[in-house]
Structure 1
Amino acid sequence: MSGDADVARAAGLMAEPARAKVLMALADGRALPASLLASEAGVSPQTVSGHLRKMLDGGLVAVERSGRHRYYKLSGPEVAAAVEALARIAKPQPIKSLRQSTRAAALREARTCYDHLAGRLGVALLDGLVRRAALTRTDGGVGADRRPNDPLAAQLPDAPYALGPNATEVFGELGVDLNDQPSRRQLLRFCVDWSEQRHHLSGQLGASVVDSLLTRNWLHRRPNQRAVDLTPTGQEALAGLLTG
């Protein structure tokens, strides 16, 4: 038999500044080596190894081995959702440099949240999918607008969307075949974006869209960051979807 969830332990693991930076660095779903995570957190490799051991024991991260190398990743999308929720309620850190300011702005503009697209670009994409009837609102709402009772910065338990009449055509334009999606994961999931406070697409379909945009070079990952950029090719290809 199990007791109540040990929320205090999980919160304590996230509360240490270096560990929080590691979790933020991993929140885009990639697996990264300890050396890179040490640089991201601003600590020594020995120190980050200690932090990673604690987070492994606490179930926040998992490790993948490739030969002699070890790569760390979040243990699942629920950890990324927790990080996003904390980002919504946390006060922003003081910006002390132009580099920090630019990076913060880039995260608000477009970022990956575990394996799907978030930020202004993620919300604009969902707006476009609704506008072109690839997705339909089932509650009478407008575009990607958040409902009054939706939880802040969290995955929606009862998302008010369904595939629309133009789903096959529009998602096909994005390089996503709706008939070739893995069944192990729910196709349609949606989150409330912490920086925009509107909905963005997640779930298997959200992950497939990001994979396709990256493969087509419509989207580009910034090195060692969660922020992504829409390439000139992507801007041209998605212009009709994003601007209406």
Structure 2
Amino acid sequence: MLIQVGRDDPGKDTMMIDTLPPRSAQASRLVRNDTPMRQARTCYDHLAGVLGVRLMDELLRRGWLEVNRDDGRRVHYQLTDAGRQALAARDVDVEAAEAAHRMHAYGCTDWTERRPHLGGALGAAILAALSDADIIARTPG
């Protein structure tokens, strides 16, 4: 599933997308084709590709997400109080994500970027909020 990024209202809060850092050096290398599939797509029910990795980087940089544990297979994360408040203020259903009977937040290795994007119930809740706010839209592909 590809993701189309856009805004109907330029003044609308776009969560973290407007403040994402520049593309990483790894992603800038032209070792892989720079296609829409690479830029933004879903991985199961969460955001992936360059955009998903940049979102994860920004959540960590802002201190909204922190490492909870590393089980040797994947890194698990937890929201900080600041992250919980910031995401809830952006209409991310943090409570439902925390109550879900599945992994809450973990690093899911992105197959194009070879770095983690945010998987789990929290990743799904963020994607749902971005979609509900018409910041991103799913397109066939």
Correspondent of 1:200 among 102, 117, 129: 117
Q: Conserved in 1, the CA contact under 8 Å of 2:64 and 2:83?
A: yes
When normalised by structure 1's length, the TM-score is: 0.40
Match of 1:190 in 2: 107
Code of the residue aligned with 1:187 in structure 2: it is H
The Cα of 1:204 is off from its aligned counterpart by: 0.8
Q: Distance in 1 between matches of 2:103 and 2:67?
A: 18
Name the structure 1 match of 2:85. 169
- Identify if the C-alpha distance between structure 1 residues 107 and 173 changes in structure 2 by more than 3 Å, giving closer, same or farther: farther
Larger radius of gyration: 1
TM-score (norm 2): 0.66
Match of 1:136 in 2: 66
Structure number with higher helix proportion: 1
Matched, 1:118 2:35: no
| Structure 1 residue runs of 4 or more that deviate by more than 3 Å after TM superposition | none
Deviation at 1:186, TM superposition (A): 1.7
How far apart, CA to CA, are the structure 2 residues paired with 1:220 and 1:207? 14
Residue correspondences, number? 109
**Which of the residues 104, 107, 128 maps onto 2:37?**
107
User: Could you say what the CA RMSD is over the residues aligned between the two structures, in angstroms?
Assistant: 2.5
Is 2:133 the partner of 1:216? yes
Q: Quick one: distance in 2 between partners of 1:197 and 1:129?
A: 18
CA change 1:121–1:194 in 2 (3 A) is same
Which sections of structure 2, spanning at least 5 residues, go unmatched? 2-31
SS in 2 for 1:180: helix
Structure 1 alignment gaps of length 5 or more: 1-27, 29-91, 93-100, 140-155, 226-244
